[in-house]
Each structure stands twice: as structure tokens, then as C-alpha cells.
Chain A
């Protein structure tokens, strides 16, 4: 049935994706809600919440009359009172279902904040219904749109886009990637950890997109500043080498490969332990594609498809890949195509009550939150290694 979830929780919503993007940028994040959304975002969807004080998250604490009367001026007053307490770099306004119902004018709120407090303000019209990757996509795009035209001159660098923990295997993933790139002689900056980097975006030589939610921003930067982008996330030792090779090729700088300190599985071990012919990988598209590339190096698999409830970009998609919408879509797909190996978040097993063949765990925070979170990428696919 459309909309019904019998086995799975809804996945991380767009508002949490937007907050995740702003989380380490040093702004004040105002979630325009009654309080419950903030509770869910912080308590369940943001793994960095308990260990970071880089951003201040607030609930607008809307009450029924605020929503009915649309008291935007009161919200702006409260924001003004809050920013007196710290030196914030920017104000981020994040939407929830309440402003979606009452038709809040985010652009007007942005302008009111900027005019009154002279603090740059960026808003995201999330609605709590779309999925997290839409929220990430909107937040990143709006940040670049707002700030990339400013001029903060820095040395050229490689930008990493979309590296929030909701999209990557572990909390250390994005730092490991930076380490790998820097060990190979390139300067790397994770946009979602460095607010100033948005103002230096035009000095970026190459963007590496590690999740499909960052594609819109990467294409915007390509169009505006002619910055090329590469879509990849390494999940094996061979993947790492291939990524560095691609970077070197694009930047036309040849260097011998230097590994980082975090070991990943090797392709042979992965292939050896996946024993079926028809494989379905369910993950965010970039990681799923990386895994597919590994499996494709072997001739033992007849079919390797990718499916996802999240963004499936046409450019990265193969013909038989499937965009899932409802919970039931997964079991229908697995039944109809008779996959004999399913690789996905362990929580998804619940939605496959009749499936009895091999299921390989590939955790995805956006699906199961901290239930199956791993310490670092070397534990990825650990159920088969």
C-alpha cells in the first residue's frame, strides 16, 4: 500500500539532511518546528550530536497560534535574541512540515534576518516528507549559491562534496578520504566541515562527489566556474588507487600512489565471499556503484543491479537499476528478479520476510541510524569478510 510502513521506520528526512550539511559550519541552525522535529534530528539522525559543539541547534518552538497567525516577526525577534549570545558565522533556517503547511516564505525570512542583524542567512525549504538526500542537496546548493561568489583567496584545493556521516559508512570516513588525498600530495577540503570553503569555491581545482546528494552542487560549480567533478568513494584498496589515478589524470599531476593508514578490504576477498549470480545492492548510489565496479571485475556474477529509495542519478544509473518508492517495492523487486544475493542495510531484512538467500550487511545510517553503525570503513562488508 502506498505510504504504509509495516516493517521499516521512515528513513532520515530532508530536514535532517539539511541540518547535517550545516552541522559543522559554525552557524546557528534554527529549525522551524514545534520541538519534536529537533528532537528527532538531534536524537536519532545526527551521529555527531553528542560529540560536537561546532554548531548551535535551536528549535523555533512554534506554538499553535504562531502557526495559525504566521508570526514571522516573533521568530525573527527570537533569532535576534539568540545570536546575541555568540559570534555566529551565519544563520541557517531549516523547514519542517509546519512551515510547509502554512506556506512560510523562507526568502522573506532570510531577508528579514539579513537586513535586521547583518548576518548572512541561508534557508532550506525542507518539509519533513522528502528524504535526507534532498535536504542535503538543497542545503549544499543554497550555500554555494549564496556564498561562492564571495572572494576568499586560498591555495587551490580538491573539494570533497557530500561527505556527511549519514551518507558514508562511518564517522571517520570523510577524514580518511582527506588523509588519502593529502598523502598523495593534494590539498583536500571537506566543504561540510569548513564554512569559509564555500567562499573559496572558485579556487577549487576538482570536486570529488562521494554521494548523489552533492551532484546538484557539483554541476552548479562546474557550470559557474568550470570546475570538473569526479564521482567516487573508495571501498576497497584497489578503489583507492583508482581514485588517486583519476585525480592525477584530471589535474595532470602524476605521482606514485601513497596509501593512508586505514586499510580497506581487497577486491578478491569481497568477490570470494559473495556467492550468487544475481546481486542486488541497496545503498546510496555512489557507494553502490563502487561495489558494483568491484563485482564486475569478476565473471562469476550474471547480474549486479543497484536499487535505492534515495537519489538515483540518471548519469550514474545503469538500465536495470531501480528507484524504490514504497516499502513494498523492495520485496516485489527481489521476488520478480529472483536475486540470490541482497547487499544492504541489515534493517532491510525485515522488509524481506520471505527472502531466504544470502543477505550481506552494508550499513547505511540514513536507514538504520546508529543501530548498525561501524567504527571505520575497514569494517564495511564485515559480515562476509
Chain B
């Protein structure tokens, strides 16, 4: 019997609304299909920053993962390629620990032993626990306080890799951002300092956000990934305000506002040029300033013009493992003359503003839910496209040009848009030459 992968057109999706769409599109309602394209959903750390690697962004830190062996399998294996295997340690729980919780009393000794084998004395030890401790109701904060008393001069902080809570408000990648900023203290305020919150790696050096912030007197721009040591990290507490550039850091910003009185503002990564411009205007208005973004706006406008002239009608497929919201990117590229044939991403409630607008421009664009069991029937290159965007999209179109657009160094704003269009253009030109 022939089976097909589930797909729905953007037009149908817009018409049905989120409340009336098929179960296939709602990941909570079905088993999760594990294809190489969805690996990042199940194991964000397999190809980028998962909880463990993200935790180690905290300068001069080490991590002790306390879990069944299966959760720690990738610590050193992955650590070798990520360059942090000497900062990652594991305490393997036994079967009786699952019942008795006896592993918690072994943590102080384990921490002392791992500190001894470190090349240099760490300033911070992150203790990370997983789903089983979520079920056991482990009070890790208490454990950390106990350990901290036994290891003089070292901060011991809790971190949580609770896959069970993935769709909750305190999902693992939200919780780890909270952990990362939990040691920030506020000794004084530097009115010229702003912290960029959200990512585990810096933004592109040439991103206009740095210049624009400097132009209004915010000359000290801090990011955790650029902190050279723990002393430097501590100065994050001096910020005039936090600027969230990824929604998963909102909880951390709220905590810092509550605990330290650091206010925050939030910007979204966008690829629609008019929306980028509007966002900077609104941000400026909120701060009582005007950003002079003409230079960047004009550069981006001319790149778009060139792109549209050369590549109008280019057929594109977009995945979900990329530095963009798949639907917003689809909308932007449609506006720039591309024909988005397929989007491989489950829509969320927040995507509907984009979906409704795409449906007006390209209602036949197909949406495939990558996590749906029906995707076992997906046949490579089902729709013919000229280029695919997203690391996962390579799996669906192995013989088509691809840009992964999933680098760890983060794109943002006009420059993000410019770099994206330049990369697509470069790839298409290379493809045309072949």
C-alpha cells in the first residue's frame, strides 16, 4: 500500500487556523519521527549548542553531569570536537539511585575529585541533572549549596536538562540561559553598558547592532560568549539594560530584572527589510533616541534589488534548523522574488501572522511537518527546487544546492539579511557554473 508524507499548503493552513489543523502538524499529538533532519530537535547538542555545551559558555566553568549513563554518552565524544572534553565530567547513576536518590550524597565528593584533575582551578562548577531527577523531585539548589560549602572559592550552580519539560515554559534551553546568568551580581551601574542576551556565540562582528548601540552612547556592549574570564563575566551586572535577541533568554532577563533591577528590551531577528527598519525605529522610540540606520538600510536595499534582478523566480525550500524563523524567512524571500516551494517546519501560534501574509503571496507553498510519523514516506527531492536553506534541508534534497545558514556566529538585522542574500547568490552562481 502506498503511503505519502503529510503536507498542507500555506493557503489551507491560513484558512484552517491553528485550532483546526491536523494532528500531524502538532508534535505533542504524535510520536516524534527521528530522521537525520530532526536530530537537532531531539538532541540540540548533536550539531550545535545543547544544554551541556551551552552551560560551559560560562567562563572558567566545568560541568558535572549527574545522570544515567545514556544521558552522558555524548559528553566526551562530542566534547572532543567541541573542544570542551576536559571541562565535562560525568557521574553515572546506578539503578538503585533511581529509587533511593543516593547519588545526591555522592556529588560533593565527585566535585572535589574532578576539581583535582582540572588543568586550572575552575571558578564555577555547573551540576546538571536530567529527566530522572525531575521525576524524583530532586532539590538541586540545596545540593549545590551543600557542595559550595565544601569547595572553597568555587561557585556551584544547578542546571537542568529536563527533556520531559521540553514544551513547558521552563524548557531546557530556556533554563540553561537562566543558569548562565544566575551568578551575575550588580555592584554598580555603567550607563554605557548594554548586554546582548540570547545566544551562546557572538553576533557577526560587522552586525550594525554594535554601531547603532554605540551611536547612542552605549559603548560598552557585552555578550557572555565574548567574556574572556569569570571576572569579565561578573561585569555583566553593571549593564544599563539587557537587550534580548532570542526569546529563549526572556526568562533570564526577567530574573535579572527581578533580582538585580536590570531592565530589558527585546528585538527579534527578522529578514523582511521593512520590519527590520520598523523594529529599530520602535526600539529607538522606546529609548528616546533615533537610530541612524540609513547606511545599512540603503546597503540592504541595493543587495535586495540586485538579488531580485538576478534570481527572481528561484525555487527555494526552507528547513527549520537555521538562524531564522522559517516562516518569516519564507515571507521575506517571497517578497524578494523567490518562489518558496516547501517549508519543513511545524507552525506555532506565533507564526500565523507570517502564514497569513505568505498565503496572500504564495498560497501553494507546501508545509511539511518534519516530526510527523508520515515523514517516513518522504521521498527525496519531492518538489524540484533550485536551492535549499537550513541544515536539515540537505536531508530532504541531498542533490540540490544548500546553504545551512546555521553557523554558531549569529546573523542579525540588516547585515544578517545582506549576508544571507549574498550567500544564496554565491551558491546559485556556483551552481549555475557547474
**Contact assessment for B73 and A44 in the assembled complex, using a CB-CB cutoff below 8 Å:** yes
**Contact assessment for A129 and B376 in the assembled complex, using a CB-CB cutoff below 8 Å:** no
Q: Does A270 contact B (CB under 8 A)?
A: no
Of A77-85, A116-124, A154-162, A224-232, the segment with at least 4 beta carbons within 8 Å of chain B is A77-85
Chain B residues near A79 (CB, 8 Å)? 31
**Contact assessment for B71 and A38 in the assembled complex, using a CB-CB cutoff below 8 Å:** no
**Contact assessment for A369 and B77 in the assembled complex, using a CB-CB cutoff below 8 Å:** yes
Q: Does A255 contact B (CB under 8 A)?
A: no
A134–chain B nearest beta-carbon distance, Å: 11
**Contact assessment for B135 and A98 in the assembled complex, using a CB-CB cutoff below 8 Å:** yes
**Contact assessment for A1 and B110 in the assembled complex, using a CB-CB cutoff below 8 Å:** yes
Encode A6-24 as 1/0 by CB contact (under 8 A) with B: 1111111101100000000
Of B32-40, B143-151, B241-249, B420-428, the segment with at least 4 beta carbons within 8 Å of chain A is B32-40
Which residues of chain B from 227 to 276 have any CB-CB distance to chain A below 8 Å in the complex?
Answer: none
Q: Which of A10, A44, A78 meets B90, CB within 8 Å?
A: A10
Q: Is the interface of B mostly helix, strand, loop or mixed?
A: helix
**Contact assessment for A39 and B43 in the assembled complex, using a CB-CB cutoff below 8 Å:** yes
**Contact assessment for A64 and B74 in the assembled complex, using a CB-CB cutoff below 8 Å:** no
Encode A88-117 as 1/0 by CB contact (under 8 A) with B: 000000001110111000000000000000
Residue of chain B at shortest CB distance from A56: B376
**Contact assessment for A5 and B91 in the assembled complex, using a CB-CB cutoff below 8 Å:** yes
Residue of chain B at shortest CB distance from A1: B113
Residue of chain A at shortest CB distance from B33: A58
**Contact assessment for B77 and A44 in the assembled complex, using a CB-CB cutoff below 8 Å:** yes
Q: Does A256 contact B (CB under 8 A)?
A: no
Q: Does B410 contact A (CB under 8 A)?
A: no
**Contact assessment for A40 and B70 in the assembled complex, using a CB-CB cutoff below 8 Å:** yes
A61 to B346, CA, bound (A): 16
Q: Does B303 contact A (CB under 8 A)?
A: no
A6 to B89, CA, bound (A): 5
Chain B residues near A81 (CB, 8 Å)? 23, 30-31, 373
**21 contacts across the A-B interface (CB closer than 8 A):** A4-B110, A6-B114, A8-B76, A10-B90, A34-B166, A36-B161, A38-B43, A39-B44, A43-B46, A44-B43, A56-B376, A59-B31, A60-B32, A61-B27, A64-B164, A85-B377, A87-B1, A96-B70, A98-B164, A129-B70, A129-B98
Q: Which residues of B contact A (CB under 8 A)?
A: 1, 3, 23, 27-34, 36, 39, 41-47, 67-80, 89-95, 98, 103, 106, 109-110, 113-114, 117, 130-132, 134-136, 161-168, 373-374, 376-377
Q: Which residues of A contact B (CB under 8 A)?
A: 1-13, 15-16, 30-31, 33-40, 42-45, 49-50, 53, 56-64, 67-68, 78-79, 81-82, 85-87, 96-98, 100-102, 127-129, 131, 347, 350, 368-369, 371
